[in-house]
């Protein structure tokens, strides 16, 4: 959970509970959008208050990832080559798993290209 308070918050969002999934990477775009400042340079950050934005959450850890979206969620440990948590249970070629792995592969490729 994250609590935002004060006059920096657009009055349209004051007193509201926003249940969209996000991560710490989304804080820059969300905060800058509230301040009406550009945030395109933060390509891996999303404005969590954008009602049209994709709803997902990514967390990385040593040799693994957690991916969550509206259709499902999973955790993958590459050391064990195991999906040790899935909700609901899904096949390795499920679209939720493909999107999560694709996100991580694209993120890592950008890092390697840097």
Q: How confident is the model at residue 112, as a pLDDT?
A: 97
pLDDT tens for each residue of 23-77: 999 999 999 998 899 999 999 999 998 989 999 999 999 999 999 999 999 999 9
Q: How far apart are CA 71 and CA 54, in angstroms?
A: 12
- Are 76 and 27 part of one and the same domain? no
Which residues, 6 or more positions from 54, have their beta carbon under 8 angstroms from its beta carbon? 46, 69
Q: Are residues 36 and 9 in the same domain?
A: yes
Residues 1 and 39 reside in one and the same domain: yes
Which one, of 17, 21, 23, lies nearest residue 3 by Cα? 17
Strand ranges of the sheet holding 72-77, from the earlier edge strand across to the other edge? 56-61, 64-69, 72-77, 82-87
Residues 49 and 68 in one domain: no
Query: Phi and psi of 54, rounded to 5°?
Result: -70, 145
pTM of the model: 0.81
> Is 63 found in the same domain as 47?
no
Counting the structural domains of the chain, the total is 2
What pLDDT was estimated at residue 52?
Answer: 93
Indicate if 48 and 85 belong to the same structural domain: no
């Amino acid at each position: 959970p994250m609590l935002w308070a004060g006059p920096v918050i657009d009055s349209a969002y004051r007193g509201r509970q926003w249940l969209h999934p996000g991560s710490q990477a989304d804080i820059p775009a969300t905060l800058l959008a509230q301040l009406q400042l550009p945030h395109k340079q933060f390509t891996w950050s999303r404005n969590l208050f954008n009602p049209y934005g994709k709803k997902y959450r990514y967390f990385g850890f040593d040799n693994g990832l957690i991916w969550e979206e509206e259709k499902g969620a999973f955790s993958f440990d590459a050391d064990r080559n195991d999906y040790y948590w899935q909700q609901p249970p899904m096949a390795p070629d499920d679209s939720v798993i493909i999107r999560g792995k694709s996100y991580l592969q694209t993120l890592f490729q950008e890092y390697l290209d840097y």
